[in-house]
Amino acid sequence: MKYCSKCKKIHINKDLKNCPTCKRKLIENPSHYSPVNLITANGFELERIRSALTQADIAFSVKEENYDTGLQILNTAPPENCSFFVPLSHYDKAVETLIGIGALKSNPLEELDKEDEDFLEKSREQEKNDELPEGKARLIRILSFLAFLVFLGIFAFAVDWLLSLVTPLLGWQ
């Protein structure tokens, strides 16, 4: 599997050296965080895909295409063409979700060989390892909140102390 860092597309052909679209050199082993261009959509389809990916709990971002010439008066019209990007580690799940709602007809990576499938599986495992367990994440949130409260208390005492120094100098009572 090869990856174009400009187009954000995955290429299965092992013989490719450069991207067929932009001619940039392809990367052999992209990071599991690498954004992959999943699909381009507009109008109702755009909202349908956005909702399906959100409901499936898949991280994604949406970017309006630069070459779009649609009219958007006061930004009230929906964007004409938007590309959806997902991290490489979520690519399989996102493709399955889009096939499920009929946005994609078939899996673009059906011809993956065993090595590429192992690479995708390894990227999913790496992402799982990068995530904090729920207990640790909760503990960090609680400790962060307590540290914030302590900071607010110290700030309030510092302001009070400064005012106690300044008020006699200004003749305030």
Question: How high is the mean pLDDT in each 10-residue block of the chain (173 residues)?
Answer: 83 79 83 83 84 89 68 56 86 86 73 63 70 82 95 96 89 75
pLDDT at 155: 96
pLDDT at 150: 97
pLDDT at 170: 84
pLDDT at 59: 86
Structure tokens, 49: 């895909």
pLDDT at 74: 52
Which residues have CB under 8 Å from 20's CB, separation 6+?
11
**Chain centroid, CA 161 distance in Å:** 45
Q: Is there a contact between 152 and 160 (Cβ–Cβ < 8 Å)?
A: no
pLDDT at 142: 95
Return the SS3 of 27.
Answer: strand
Q: Under the phi-then-psi rule, with left for phi > 0, alpha for psi from -120 to 50, and beta for the rest, what region is 171?
A: left
> Phi/psi of residue 100, each to 5°?
-60, -35
Give the residues across from 64 on adjacent strands. Answer: 82
Length of the chain: 173
Q: Where are the alpha helices (DSSP H) in 43-133?
A: 43-55, 91-100, 114-130
Q: Is there a contact between 36 and 7 (Cβ–Cβ < 8 Å)?
A: no
Give the residues across from 10 on adjacent strands. Answer: 3
